[in-house]
Amino acid sequence: GDGKGRIDFEHVSFSYEGGHGESVLKDITFSCLPGETVGIIGSTGSGKSSLVGLIPRFYDATKGTVRVDGVDVREVDPKLLREKMAIVPQKTVLFTGTVKENIRWGKDEATDEEMELAARMAQAHDFIERTPDGYQARVGQGGINFSGGQKQRLSIARALVRKPEILILDDSTSAVDVATETKIKEALREYAQGLTCLLIAQRITSVMDADKIVVLDQGELVGIGTHESLLKDCRVYQEIFQS
């Protein structure tokens, strides 16, 4: 289709500069179609964060091509490229200010309604409303007055308020309980149709209902498919499932 938010990895290899030349990603080829949710799973150090970092051009592929909406990312103005996407990093970054300012960060023109919808999708609205000052509550330095899972949900709300074509969640629900994580995914399906979502996770439960799951092992793509097909065919996926 001509929907936006397609991502293609074509024979992508990558090594960090000064990384002793060892390949962190080795000949990776797969596509995320517009509107798909693609899970990325693999043990620590398997290359998951490095892989998604190539999409906004935090780094460039050493070999091969990454395309967004069919265009080689190296041929796009990085600013325009990054406007299409929102990335929730592993370590959430909240600043001293109100909850509202934190959610609207980078998208100051967002209305209160847009902000609240983003918070609802991220399953943050209810706990925000339970605090005495609601959206005007102060977030302490580094978000100290919120739990790890609450901070992650505020970060997801911040990403959603930007209405991205592509949403990248880098282990962003690791501190969120499985039931709440499921609600976030359901809300995304309902309200953010057409959004392409890349979901890095350690837990199988986080990715098992994705349209497809990419399994990385030491920089190699060792499996791609649905939960059911990977359980049948992919040894690394079976091992993660059993651990």
Determine if 155 is a binding residue for ligand GTP (CB under 6 A).
no
Q: Quick one: tokens of 54?
A: 């190539």
Smaller CB separation from ligand GTP, 31 or 174: 174
Q: Least distance (Å) from ligand GTP to the CB of residue 21?
A: 10
In our burial notation (b when 16+ CB lie closer than 10 A, e otherwise), range 13-50 reads ebbeeeeeeebbbbebebebebbbbbbbbbeeebbbbb
Of the ranges 30-38, 47-55, 127-135, 140-148, which one interacts with ligand GTP (CB under 6 A)? 47-55
Which of 6, 26, 48, 153 touches ligand GTP by CB under 6 A? 48
With a CB cutoff of 8 Å and minimum separation 6, the contacts of 76 are 68
Footprint of ligand GTP on 75-134 (CB under 6 A): none
Which of 50, 150, 173, 180 touches ligand GTP by CB under 6 A? 50
Tell me, residue by residue from 156 to 185, as one string, x for binding to ligand GTP by CB under 6 A and - for no binding: ------------------------------
Neighbours of 235 (CB within 10 A): 12
Q: Least distance (Å) from ligand GTP to the CB of residue 55?
A: 13
Q: Least distance (Å) from ligand GTP to the CB of residue 44?
A: 3
Orientation of helix 178-191 relative to helix 112-121, angle to 10°: 130
CA–CA gap between residue 165 and residue 216 (Å, rounded): 24
In our burial notation (b when 16+ CB lie closer than 10 A, e otherwise), range 170-206 reads bbbbbebeeebbbbbbebbeeebeebbbbbbbeebeb
Smaller CB separation from ligand GTP, 55 or 128: 55
Determine if 46 is a binding residue for ligand GTP (CB under 6 A).
yes
Smaller CB separation from ligand GTP, 44 or 242: 44
Dihedral of alpha carbons 114, 118, 120, 124, sign: negative
Which of 23, 31, 49, 182 touches ligand GTP by CB under 6 A? 49
Smaller CB separation from ligand GTP, 211 or 220: 220
Please state the φ and ψ torsions of residue 196, each to the nearest 5 degrees: -85, 130
Q: Which of these, 103, 101, 70, lies nearest to 86 by C-alpha position?
A: 103
Tell me, residue by residue from 5 to 44, as one string, x for binding to ligand GTP by CB under 6 A and - for no binding: -----------x-xx----x-----------------x-x
Determine if 191 is a binding residue for ligand GTP (CB under 6 A).
no
According to DSSP H, which parts of 125-177 are helical?
A: 125-130, 148-160
Residues lying near ligand GTP in the complex (CB under 6 A) are found at 16, 18-19, 24, 42, 44-50
